[in-house]
Structure 1
Amino acid sequence: MTVDVETSPENRIRLSPWLRWGLLALIQLGLIAIPLADRLSVQSSGNVVRLAVVPVDPRDLLRGDYVIINLAITRLPAGLQGADGFNAGDRIFVELAPQVDGAAEPVAVARDRSKLGTLAIAGTVRSATAEEIRVDYGIDAFFLPEGEGLEIERMDRDRLLLEVSVTEDGRSLPVNLLVDGKTFRSDAIF
C-alpha cells in the first residue's frame, strides 16, 4: 500500500527570511573558522622547535612583505637513519633533536610517525637521490609588516632561526622569526 503525501505550499515548512540569512551566515562563519581552529590546535598543542633558515624576500600585493623560508632541514642526507626507499610524493616524518646552539637537527626519518621519537615533523618528499632527500613541510612563508622583508633578507642567515610549533601527529606552523635568539616578529595567534 502506498501513501501519497501532497507537497502543496500549505504542507511545506516556511522559514523566515531572517532565519535563512542567519543560517547562511553561520555556515559561512563555520567554513572560515575551520582553518583557524586547525591553526590554533597546532599552536596550542605543539612543541616549539627552532629551525635554521635561508630567507629570500618577495612581496605579496595583498598581504605585504613576506620572507620565503628555506629551512635547513628541507635537504636531508640520504645516509640518515631510515632514509632508504623514499620517492617523490611520499609522506615522510622527520625526527628532530634540538641542539645546544638553538637549531634542531634531523636525526631519523620514517614513513610511519610511530617509529620515531617525541618530536617529528611531517612533510612530503619533493625528490630523492642517492645523495639527499628534499622535503616540503608546507611552512615556507612568514609574513612581515611592509618594509621589513628587505631587512631580513640582508641579515646574515646564521643570525636567523624560525620557531615552529609541531604537534604529536607531525603538523606544523611557523610561530616566531628569531634574530640573534630574540623574537623579531611573531605569527602566533595568542
Structure 2
Amino acid sequence: MSGKKLIVSALVLALVQIGFLSWIIAGRAAILRDGKEVLLKVEPVDPRDLLRGDYISLNNNISRIPVKLIANIPEGQLSSDDTSIVVRLKKGADGYWQPTTAWFGQAPAPAGPDEADIAGRVAEGWGLRDAGSTIAPDYGIDRFYLPEGEGMTIQDDIRVRPFGIKLALSANGTAQIKALMDGDKTLFEEPFY
C-alpha cells in the first residue's frame, strides 16, 4: 500500500471514530436537554472508583420493584429471563417519583402527562412466584461521579438528610442522571458534553 493510500485510510478511520463518539455524546446530550425530568430519592453505597475518581453508588426508590407491580408475568413463569422492563413512574406528594406499575418488554400504552416511563433490564433468575418478592432492574443510573474528595462527605450527608437524583428520560425511557440534589438544592449538575 502506498504512503498516500495509508494516510487517506488513517484519516477515514479517524473520521469514522470521531463521528461515532460524537453520535454517542450528542445522544446523551439530547436526553439531558430535552428529556422529561424525574426526581428519585437515593441512598449511598460506596464512594470510590480507582480509574474515574469519587462517586456515590445510588440505591434509589426504583432500585427494587415489587413483583406485584409487574402487570404481564406469563402464567406459570417462576423466574425472570434476561429481558427488558419498563417501569411507569408517577410524581408523589413529596416531589419524588414512585413506581406504579411495570411490564416486561414494552408498556402497552404511552405514559400519561403526569407519568413517565423508565426502561431497564432484568437479569435472569429473579424469583417471580412470590407476590411479596422484588426484582432489581438495571437502568444504567447507579453511579454519580463527583469532584475528587467529595464522595465521602456527600455519602455521610446522605445518611442524615434526604438526597435525590434528577433524571432526564427520553421518549423510549432511556435515563441519564441530570443532577444530584440535596433536598431542593442542586449540588452537582451533569454538563451536556
Per the TM superposition, whether the score is higher than 0.5 is: yes
CA pair 65-77 structure 1, distance change in 2 beyond 3 A: same
The answer for the alignment partner of 2:117 in structure 1 is 120
CA RMSD of aligned residues (A): 2.4
Q: Which moved more, 1:27-36 or 1:13-22?
A: 13-22
Segments of structure 1 that go 5 or more residues without pairing to the other structure are 1-8
Q: CA deviation at 1:18?
A: 4.9
Give 2:107's aligned amino acid.
Answer: R
Identity %: 32
TM score, norm. by length of structure 2: 0.81
Q: Which whole-Å deviations, capped at 9, do the CAs of 1:46-83 have from their partners, x for residues lacking one?
A: 10100111112332223210111112112112222616
1:179/1:42 CA distance change after superposition, 3 Å:
same
TM-score (norm 1): 0.82
What does 1:24-173 align with in structure 2 at a 5 Å threshold? 24-80=13-69, 82=71, 84-85=73-74, 87-110=80-103, 111-118=105-112, 119-126=116-123, 127-129=126-128, 130=130, 131=132, 132-157=134-159, 158-173=161-176
Task: Report which structure shows greater RCO (CA 8 Å, sep ≥6).
Answer: 2
Q: 1:68 to 1:156 in 2, by over 3 A?
A: closer
Q: Is residue 188 from structure 1 mapped to residue 191 from structure 2 by the alignment?
A: yes
Shift in Å, 1:35 = 1.8
Query: Which of the pair has more CA radius of gyration?
Result: 1
Change (3 A) 1:58 1:88: farther
Q: Can you give the 5+ residue segments of structure 2 that lack an aligned partner in the other structure?
A: none
Distance, in Å, in 2 between the alignment partners of 1:68 and 1:168 is 25
Compute the displacement of 1:33 (Å): 1.7
